[in-house]
Structure 1
């Protein structure tokens, strides 16, 4: 099993990916549509991902995108938060 990535780094990657894709994770959490455990799972899933370097490059070149890349393990979650 590979070591998990840094919590702070992946917290910010989740926030950046959410912003880039228009998924309002902060608003969804504040309104109760995204539970604290779901928010933590987004970050934990990101920490487990092997694609974090690719993610950073993708975020740099795609600051506004309609969807997260398929290689993102949270892409379906971001898409669901876009629809809300």
Structure 2
């Protein structure tokens, strides 16, 4: 089993990915679009990902370029962010 990354580091990465993809994770939780177990799974997925450094760099670029339509393909939570972005756009 791969070593999991530091929880606070990956919590921050998940939040930043939400911002970059136009997903307000706090709002999604309040609206019932993300459950507590799903939120925990997103952070755990991120903690187990081997691309944290690439992700950090990608997020830094997005903060300069503005919002994007989707998370990068290597993101362990791409499908979840895509689903939440679709719901937010409705």
TM class, shorter-length? over 0.9
TM superposition shift of 1:30: 1.1
* Structure 1 vs Structure 2 CA RMSD: 0.8
Q: Does 1:6 align with 2:6?
A: yes
Instruction: Report the Cα distance in structure 1 between the residues aligned to 2:36 and 2:49, rounded to whole angstroms.
Output: 20
Deviation string, structure 1 residues 28-71 (Cα, Å, up to 9, x no partner): 10112211000101100000000000000000011221110001
Instruction: Report the Cα distance in structure 2 between the residues aligned to 1:45 and 1:26, rounded to whole angstroms.
Output: 18
Instruction: Report the Cα distance in structure 1 between the residues aligned to 2:10 and 2:34, rounded to whole angstroms.
Output: 18
Instruction: Report the Cα distance in structure 2 between the residues aligned to 1:26 and 1:51, rounded to whole angstroms.
Output: 24
Query: TM-score, normalised to structure 1's length?
Result: 0.95
Runs of 4+ in 1 over 6 A off after TM superposition: none
For structure 1, list consecutive stretches of 5 or more residues without a partner in the other structure: none
